[in-house]
Amino acid sequence: MKKYRAFALLVLAIFLFAGCAKKPVSPTPTVAPTAAATPNAPATLQPPTPTPVSTPAAGDAVLAAYFRQNYDLGYAEAAYADLTHDGQNELIVVELLDESGTPAPVALSSVTDSSDFREGYVRVFSLVNGAAAQIYEREANHAHVGWQQLYLLTDETGAYLFDCNPSVFQGYADYTYTLFSLDAKGGAVVKESGYLSFVVDSAGDGYTYKDAAGKDVSADVAAFEAAAQGYVERAVPLLVYFESLDGTVLYDFLNRELYQHS
């Protein structure tokens, strides 16, 4: 059976629940805190301005043919970007699946809100010996909210994946983000990463953010959010699904705007 095709506005809520989480390899904040902040409510990052996603170029013929042969339009979306920085684009495929006994593709035309989402994948294919070969895969599932935010970002130095995973679980917060490209085997080549761990507590009508020693880290949290916001505003969502503390589900996938009114 063939597999499948998708971009959209995106809202990134930094204050989340997460059922499963792991810390990055280098847990060192890359953005220094600035002026102290007074946290009155969980922060919400603003959506980016949509920009066109790349279409296959002349040199992408093999990858474009692979997508046509293995995915059905309306069931998957594709983007092309040089994630390995070797001068040749990779094929990025985003697809959504249901959770029946054997997962099946979900028609994107019917996926207009988060209630339809069960499972999804971002896969990256590269040219290896003249043929398309998968080198990277990222899964997202509605049962693991808070750790599934993957974007495509391109700047003057090349194309990157931006993985932003801010999570709060039972009052303990782990905020992480990683901007990375891929090596030829699909390993992460990290350009920048950030990590911040703290405890969140309700204080009247607001919140307090403290580290393990009880020190206020509101400025650090604000700096992390500002850094993440800067990347999100320049990025294209590939697959995003998570739930904020107030129960709002934030959901997006590549080229979603094409399917919102079908």
Query: Is residue 94 included in any domain, yes or no?
Result: yes
- The C-alpha atoms of residue 21 and residue 13 are separated, in whole angstroms, by 17
Mean pLDDT of 50-73: 83
- The C-alpha atoms of residue 111 and residue 108 are separated, in whole angstroms, by 5
List beta partners, residue 79.
Answer: 92
Residue 70: pLDDT over 90: yes
Report CA torsion sign: 193, 15, 49, 139: positive
Give the per-residue pLDDT at 179. Answer: 97
Residue 257: pLDDT band (50, 70, 90) is confident
Task: Count other Cβ atoms within 10 Å, centred on residue 65.
Answer: 12
Give the per-residue pLDDT at 262. Answer: 53
Residue 61: pLDDT over 50: yes
Report the percent of the chain where pLDDT is more than 70: 73
Give the per-residue pLDDT at 1. Answer: 44
Residue 66: pLDDT band (50, 70, 90) is very high
Phi, psi dihedral angles at 252 (to 5 degrees): -160, 155
The model's pTM is: 0.77
List beta partners, residue 120.
Answer: 96, 140
Query: Is residue 4 included in any domain, yes or no?
Result: no
- pLDDT tens digits for 10-50? 333 333 333 333 333 333 333 333 333 344 444 545 545 44
Residue 201: pLDDT band (50, 70, 90) is confident
Helix (H) / strand (E) element for 64: namely helix 61-70
Q: Which of 32-46, 63-77, 78-92, 224-238 has the lowest mean pLDDT?
A: 32-46
Is residue 167 a contact partner of residue 2, using CB atoms and an 8 Å limit? no
Residue 194: pLDDT over 70: yes
How far is the CA of 44 from the CAs of 6, 40, 161, 248, in angstroms?
25, 12, 21, 11
Query: Is residue 53 included in any domain, yes or no?
Result: yes
Residue 57: pLDDT band (50, 70, 90) is confident
Query: Is residue 108 included in any domain, yes or no?
Result: yes
Query: Is residue 2 included in any domain, yes or no?
Result: no
Give the per-residue pLDDT at 156. Answer: 92
Where does residue 94 fall: left (phi above 0), alpha (psi -120 to 50 degrees), or beta otherwise? beta
- pLDDT tens digits for 101-138? 566 788 887 776 777 778 889 999 999 999 999 999 99
State which residues form the domain around 108.
12-258
Is residue 47 a contact partner of residue 240, using CB atoms and an 8 Å limit? no
Query: Is residue 5 included in any domain, yes or no?
Result: no
Specify the higher pLDDT residue, 157 or 11. Answer: 157
Query: Is residue 17 included in any domain, yes or no?
Result: yes
Distant-in-sequence contacts of 174-179, Cβ < 8 A, 24+ apart: 174/18, 174/21, 174/23, 175/14, 175/221, 175/224, 176/23, 176/24, 176/27, 177/224, 177/227, 177/228, 177/231, 178/24, 179/153, 179/231
Query: Is residue 6 included in any domain, yes or no?
Result: no
Mean pLDDT of 210-233: 89
Report the percent of the chain where pLDDT is more than 90: 37
- The C-alpha atoms of residue 228 and residue 53 are separated, in whole angstroms, by 21
Q: How many distinct structural domains can be found in the chain?
A: 1
Is residue 122 a contact partner of residue 98, using CB atoms and an 8 Å limit? no
How far is the CA of 137 from the CAs of 12, 157, 189, in angstroms?
22, 23, 15
Look up tokens 């809100």; give the residue. Answer: 113
